[in-house]
Amino acid sequence: VFPRDLKPENILLNEDMHIQITDFGTAKVLSADSRQARANSFVGTAQYVSPELLTEKSACKSSDLWALGCIIYQLVAGLPPFRAGNEYLIFQKIIKLEYDFPEKFFPKAKDLVEKLLVLDATNRLGCEEMGGYGPLRAHPFFESIVWENLHLQTPPKLTAYLPAMSEDDEDCYGNYDNLLSQFGCMQVSSSASSHSLSAAETSTPQTSGGNIEQYIHDLDNNSFELDLQFSEDEKRLLLAKQAGGNPWHQFVENNLILKMGPVDKRKGLFARRRQLLLTEGPHLYYVDPVNKVLKGEIPWSLELRPEAKNFKTFFVHTPNRTYYLMDPSGNAHKWCKKIHEVWRHRYHQNATK
């Protein structure tokens, strides 16, 4: 069987963290003695389609090796190798083998990808003409893999990892388990903290003429954060001021912005500039600052954990994903401090009511 539509979306992990391939709706079943048999139907997803499918209108077993090369590239770099504004342009890049490697791409992975992304299907590492799967398994990229009884082995624990992008950066590893225990201690002790929002709720509300500017700390034109000890009346004034003059208000569903600023949202070896908006609720929105489009939201839960790795780099861990962020101003610890402050208010307050 060759699936003919291998892509990350069709690769799942079961409860034992072993890979399972799904979606065999486009698969082709071959007899044991078939050699590079070809199927003439056009199937597959644009970024992973093999060049022979585009030029000869047929796919073969080696077409899955091409898809494997694309997947390995994406696992390392964070994006597929062939990218463009539409499918036609993607296909043109595939036919011409137009792709490049970002800096810091692992050398062994690069060598393997180059041996899989070969225009001639009979020259791809792992195909029958190149000796079959034996030479593919023997590639240095897989040197730590013990292939015998692989499906019975316990996979290594996954940890958050942020590869360096330049010589001045460093690789960063997250430690989510340690953070869980640390936050457990913080939740117990947070009732004694003078930085909790509970101070605002127990204080006497000030009049609507209160000086709300005292809570706003401008960092630059697109960055600021709020002190959190404001009353309900002051909150209404702050929200009115935000609605009347903050261009990012349109993205936060009328929630008060508690901290905002530009960050580089990393995905593998690629990064995109985003405006990060921490609001009451709580919410963490991120917006494309050029096209002014809301790109997504980091989901809040009791298990959410911020983790600063250095001055610029910080992680936001959630149960299903770790978000990799870089603060170009070098104040990653301030983001983590504010996120933790809001987390503590949201979950400690509810737990003590």
Q: Dmax over Cα atoms in the chain, in whole Å?
A: 85
CATH number at residue 147: 1.10.510.10
| End-of-domain residue from the set 125, 156, 187 | 156
For residues 224 and 146, state if they share a domain: no
- Model pTM score: 0.66
pLDDT value, residue 170: 63
Burial of 241-263, coded b for 16+ CB within 10 Å and e otherwise, reads: ebeeebebbebbeebbbbbbbbb
Helices (H) and strands (E) in the chain, counts: 9, 13
Identify the band that residue 1 occupies on the pLDDT scale cut at 50, 70 and 90. Answer: very low
In a domain, 164, yes or no: no
Q: Which of 23-32, 51-60, 123-132, 328-337 has the lowest mean pLDDT?
A: 23-32
- Where in the sequence is the domain holding 37, given as residue range(s)? 8-156
> How far is the C-alpha of 105 from the C-alpha of 165, rounded, in Å?
9
More confident residue, 310 or 31: 310
Beta pairing partners, 307 = 315
For residues 190 and 143, state if they share a domain: no
Give the pLDDT mean for 285-309.
Answer: 95
Q: SS in 3 state form for 201-270? A: HHCCCCCCCCCHHHHEEEEECCEEEECCCCCHHHHHHHHHHHHHHCCCHHHCCCCCEEEEEEEEEEECCE
For residues 34 and 134, state if they share a domain: yes
In a domain, 64, yes or no: yes
For residues 116 and 234, state if they share a domain: no
In a domain, 268, yes or no: yes
pLDDT value, residue 189: 35
- Which whole-number Å values give the CA distances from 65 to 1, 100, 109, 148, in the listed order? 13, 19, 14, 21
Give the pLDDT mean for 127-154.
Answer: 95
In a domain, 165, yes or no: no
pLDDT value, residue 201: 36
Instruction: Examine the pLDDT at 56 and tell me if it is beyond 70.
Output: yes
For residues 139 and 184, state if they share a domain: no
Look up residue 96 and give its amino acid: K
Instruction: Examine the pLDDT at 241 and tell me if it is beyond 70.
Output: yes
More confident residue, 10 or 177: 10
Tell me the catalytic residues: 5
Q: Which of 41-55, 126-140, 180-194 has the lowest mean pLDDT?
A: 180-194
| End-of-domain residue from the set 121, 156, 191 | 156
pLDDT value, residue 205: 38
For residues 230 and 106, state if they share a domain: no
For residues 147 and 176, state if they share a domain: no
In a domain, 162, yes or no: no
In a domain, 215, yes or no: yes
In a domain, 280, yes or no: yes
Q: Which of 23-32, 220-229, 238-247 has the lowest mean pLDDT?
A: 23-32
For residues 217 and 152, state if they share a domain: no
For residues 191 and 331, state if they share a domain: yes
Q: 173 is written with which tokens?
A: 């590893």
Burial of 15-49, coded b for 16+ CB within 10 Å and e otherwise, reads: eeeeeeeeeeebbbeeeeeeeeebbeeebbbbbbb
Instruction: Examine the pLDDT at 211 and tell me if it is beyond 60.
Output: yes
pLDDT value, residue 156: 85
The CA angle 250-252-256, to the nearest 5 degrees, is 110
Q: How many CA atoms lie within 13 A of 213 on its CB side?
A: 1
Give the pLDDT mean for 192-208.
Answer: 36
For residues 105 and 198, state if they share a domain: no
Q: Which of 48-62, 167-181, 194-208, 261-275 has the lowest mean pLDDT?
A: 194-208
CATH number at residue 331: 2.30.29.30
For residues 194 and 151, state if they share a domain: no
| End-of-domain residue from the set 156, 182, 203 | 156
Number of domains in the chain: 2
For residues 23 and 148, state if they share a domain: yes
pLDDT value, residue 350: 58
In a domain, 163, yes or no: no
Give the pLDDT mean for 129-148.
Answer: 96
> How does the average pLDDT of the chain come out, rounded?
82
